[in-house]
Amino acid sequence: MPRFRATAVVAAAALLMAGCSTGPGLAKTNSPRRTVQAGADASSTDPSVKPSAQPNKPVDPAFASERLRLINPCALIEKELLQTVGTPSKYSSSSYTRCSNYMKDKAGKTLTITLDIGYTLSSSEVKNATKQLAGLKSGEQKLSSSCFITAVTQENPAQAVRIQVSAGEGAADPCEPGRKVLEGAVRKLRGNPQKYSPPKGSPVEVDPCTIVDKATLAPVLGASPRSTPFGLHQCSWSGQSAQMQLEFRTTRIPKDGKFDSKSVEVDLGGVKGYQAFKDNSFPTCELVVVRTKDSSDAGEIAEFTVAASKEKELDRCQAAQTFAKAVLPSLPAA
């Protein structure tokens, strides 16, 4: 099945750091967004979910989603921790929950460390979590010069703290520094790490899966849509050859509102939205609403997406507007 587009996003998480005087800041960088499968059948089940585990219950209260949404991931891989594996450089972030440091290892070779919190595990990653790290189930995947390590923080739906280590040519085992940094990050996460100080109107603390009611989804998806969370700030609902999706994210706010070359401005009852219709194999309408913006045009958005098979008679952009109008009153006031 086709997927919703995965575009490069320019991080604006520095906007959230207003009022925070300690810990590493969040610079702006580019990174592809992860997206969920479109057109899934409403009766299917997510293979990454462990049915026996209590839904939305973390293995430790420190890893609760409502807590993780406000934690600055860069503060979990602070300079003192990175110095145990090399020489850290500047921090950069491409989303609320991701932080990278493009540093050098102890031999002076390139070492890139990227940390994700609230990371949604695939079924294969869940199956691979047969080790232990910092008291959590852990999985590793080693490639030629990189290593991916997860520490499971919730089993239903499956989430983790995840680290990706990319080493330069001729460098030592990339998994070794990855384990050390991830263990330190988990330890920090269990303590009192630095949190964001979000500006007025920020949606960073909102759970996208719980803010949308069934009555909003039913006209497009039917009475029993399947909800699929993805990370901490994205949720999709599937049913009847269609899908709806809500995502909150940081980005650079274009001065002309053209988030896409096809963007057109629409009125959502006194609130501006910018929609773009994509007539592809799974026709899709994406509607962006700006929630916060600072003087440098760094900001946060809510993106409402409606997609359906070509055979389904549906005005996707009209449905996206109705979707947005139903949700916007429940978001923090700007």
Predicted structure pTM score: 0.85
Q: 291-318 pLDDT, tens per residue?
A: 999 999 999 999 999 999 999 999 999 9
pLDDT at 240: 85
Helix axes 316-327, 214-221, angle to 10 degrees: 170
Comparing 24 with 54, the larger pLDDT belongs to 54
**Both structure tokens of 80:** 């003192």
Q: What is the mean pLDDT of the chain?
A: 86
Residue 79 pLDDT > 60, yes or no? yes
Residue 12, C-beta contacts closer than 8 angstroms, at least 6 positions apart: 28, 250, 251, 252, 253, 294, 298, 299, 300
pLDDT at 49: 55
The alpha helices in 28-97, defined as continuous H runs, are: 65-68, 79-82
pLDDT at 51: 56
Residue % of the chain over a pLDDT of 70: 84
Q: 249-260 pLDDT, tens per residue?
A: 999 999 888 899
| CATH architecture, domain 46-189 | Sandwich (2.60)
d(CA 102, CA 74): 13
Residue 34 pLDDT > 60, yes or no? no
**Structural fold of domain 214-330:** Protein Transport Mog1p; Chain A (3.40.1000)
Residue 114 phi/psi, 5° resolution?
Answer: -125, 130
- Give which of 66, 46, 71 is closest to 56, Cα–Cα: 66
Domain boundaries along the sequence of the chain: 46-189, 214-330
pLDDT mean over 7-21: 42
